[in-house]
């Protein structure tokens, strides 16, 4: 979008003296801009309304959660609303957290432990928020039966004519269905506690302090809703225990780091009073499950012709899917295939 369009949108949040606008393109879903004024900086985001079909419900959820996370603030519109809706879409604004940085890969065991603590503290601060007071912003988001039905549909229709080139990956998904569905079935059967969870708890959705390395906060709260905390530990393990970014094309770079895993788990469990033993026992499996669901979703999007995730080049979703499949294999090698 042109700077002049962004300036018009920012006016609705009371900003009329903008010095600089810079796009941040790391996320896969929303459009994000840093907006600098002489006094302070802001984060302006267009909510992807194809993905979040009820953006007002998303904003209501986020406002409830941010009541407990003071470092991240929603900037209200001049009319007092949680977002601005116009011909260019639905927009929201946060304070820009200065001296912060997000990462695609963990760089040390210390950092892995801090990631674990970031998730522990996020869960803990929301632990007494009533999950039934939050709406489900994307229905059946982590429901493996739903994800497989979308995958089956993509295979059946082969809309982009890509099926014949990915038969190994498709077979890997089909063969792994039963084990990958276990957690989602346990959650549906109420064998796991229903809690307020992030549901997109990947490493790049954590801001760290550039100067101290300490974590600042989880961001990207669009999918905060009821869930099992294993969906979050799973995403933390998926992104924090891989030695490569999620879209690293050189699969020889993709390994599961036992050192990061141990450090991350220590950070998450240390002083954590809310965990049941069933939850603790399933930590390793949660990493495998969420890595599997991502492989499935990336492959589904590849088969559908790249209609969901933002992609940077034509095989991007396939590279991501292959990367996640390799990570599952590496996890299995580490665990000896145990469930
Ligand atoms: P998406 O939903 O598309 O993933 P995110 O909300 O994760 O978008 O934001 C994209 C990136 O913008 C983040 O990875 C982070 O680097 C940066 N970012 C987001 N919110 C803030 C903030 N309040 N302050 C500073 N940087 C932010
Ligand atoms: C998307 O918005 P972003 O980039 O943080 C996706 C997640 C996936 C992730 C994979 C709403 O997250 O579910 O885990 O990409 N978000 C949505 O990197 O689908
Ligand atoms: Mg994000």
pLDDT in tens, 262-305: 999 999 999 999 999 999 999 999 999 999 999 999 999 999 99
User: Average pLDDT in the 51-79 region?
Assistant: 98
Q: Is 90 exceeded by the pLDDT of residue 335?
A: no
Q: Using CA of residue 116, residue 120, residue 125, residue 126, what is the dihedral sign?
A: positive
Integer angstrom CA distances of residue 215 from 37, 101, 121, 197: 26, 9, 10, 18
Q: Is 90 exceeded by the pLDDT of residue 236?
A: yes
96 lines ligand 1 (CB under 6 A): yes
41 lines ligand 1 (CB under 6 A): no
- Closest to 237 in 3D by CA, of 294, 309, 179: 294
Q: Give the ligand at the shortest distance from the Cα of 300.
A: 2
pLDDT at 336: 75
246 Cα: distance to centroid of ligand 3 (angstroms): 13
User: Average pLDDT in the 177-198 region?
Assistant: 97
Domain spans of the chain?
3-98, 109-335
43 lines ligand 1 (CB under 6 A): yes
pTM of the model: 0.96
Q: Give the ligand at the shortest distance from the Cα of 199.
A: 2
Q: Is 80 exceeded by the pLDDT of residue 311?
A: yes
Domain 3-98 matching CATH 3.30.200.20: the answer reads: yes
pLDDT at 57: 98
Q: What is the mean pLDDT of the chain?
A: 97
pLDDT at 35: 98
Q: Using CA positions, which residue lies closest to atom 8 of ligand 1?
A: 27
Alpha-carbon distance 319 to 302, whole Å?
10
Tally of CB atoms within 10 A around 56: 15
Q: Using CA positions, which residue lies closest to atom 17 of ligand 2?
A: 29
217 lines ligand 1 (CB under 6 A): no
User: Average pLDDT in the 6-10 region?
Assistant: 97
78 Cα: distance to centroid of ligand 2 (angstroms): 30
pLDDT digits (tens, 9 = 90+) for 15-52: 999 999 999 998 899 999 999 999 999 999 999 999 99
Q: Which atom of ligand 1 is nearest to the CA of 96?
A: 24
What's domain 109-335's architecture?
Answer: Alpha-Beta Complex (3.90)
Q: Which atom of ligand 2 is nearest to the CA of 48?
A: 11
| Cross-strand partners of 50 | none
| Residue 338 confidence class, pLDDT cut points 50, 70, 90 | low
| Residue 199 confidence class, pLDDT cut points 50, 70, 90 | very high
User: Average pLDDT in the 197-206 region?
Assistant: 98
pLDDT digits (tens, 9 = 90+) for 93-123: 999 999 999 999 999 999 999 999 999 999 9
pLDDT at 196: 97
100 lines ligand 1 (CB under 6 A): yes
pLDDT at 337: 60
What does residue 140 show for φ and ψ, rounded to 5 degrees?
60, 35
Instruction: Note residues around ion ligand 3 (Cβ under 5 angstroms).
Output: 27, 205, 220
220 lines ligand 1 (CB under 6 A): yes
Q: Which atom of ligand 1 is nearest to the CA of 221?
A: 6
């Amino acid at each position: 979008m042109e700077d002049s369009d962004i300036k018009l949108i920012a006016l609705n949040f009371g900003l009329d003296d903008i010095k600089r606008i810079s796009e941040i393109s790391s996320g896969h879903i929303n459009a994000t801009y840093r907006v600098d004024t002489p006094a302070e900086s802001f984060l302006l985001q267009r909510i992807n309304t194809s993905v979040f079909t009820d953006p007002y419900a998303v904003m209501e959820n986020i406002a409830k959660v941010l009541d407990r996370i003071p470092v991240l603030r929603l900037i209200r519109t001049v009319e007092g609303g949680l977002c601005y809706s116009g011909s260019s879409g639905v927009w929201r604004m946060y304070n820009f957290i200065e001296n912060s940085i997000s990462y695609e890969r963990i760089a040390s065991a210390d950092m892995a432990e801090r990631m674990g603590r970031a998730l522990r503290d996020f869960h803990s601060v929301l632990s007494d928020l009533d999950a039934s007071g939050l709406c489900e912003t994307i229905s059946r988001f982590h429901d493996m039966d739903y994800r497989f039905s979308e995958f089956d549909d993509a295979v059946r229709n082969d809309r982009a004519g890509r099926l014949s080139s990915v038969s190994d990956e498709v077979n890997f998904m089909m063969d792994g269905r039963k084990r990958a569905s276990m957690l989602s079935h346990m959650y549906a059967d109420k064998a796991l506690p229903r809690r307020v969870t992030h549901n997109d708890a990947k490493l790049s959705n954590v801001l760290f302090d550039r100067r101290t390395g300490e974590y600042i906060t989880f961001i990207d709260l669009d999918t905060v809703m009821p869930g099992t905390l294993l969906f979050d530990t799973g995403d933390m393990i998926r992104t924090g225990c891989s030695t490569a970014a999620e879209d690293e094309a050189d699969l020889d770079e993709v390994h599961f780091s036992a050192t990061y895993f141990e450090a991350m788990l220590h950070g998450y469990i240390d002083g954590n009073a809310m965990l049941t033993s069933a939850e603790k026992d399933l930590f390793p499996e949660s990493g495998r499950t969420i890595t599997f669901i991502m492989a499935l979703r990336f492959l589904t999007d590849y088969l559908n012709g790249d209609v969901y995730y933002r992609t940077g080049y034509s095989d991007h979703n396939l590279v991501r899917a292959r990367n996640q499949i390799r990570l599952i294999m590496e996890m299995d090698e580490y665990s000896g295939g145990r469930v």
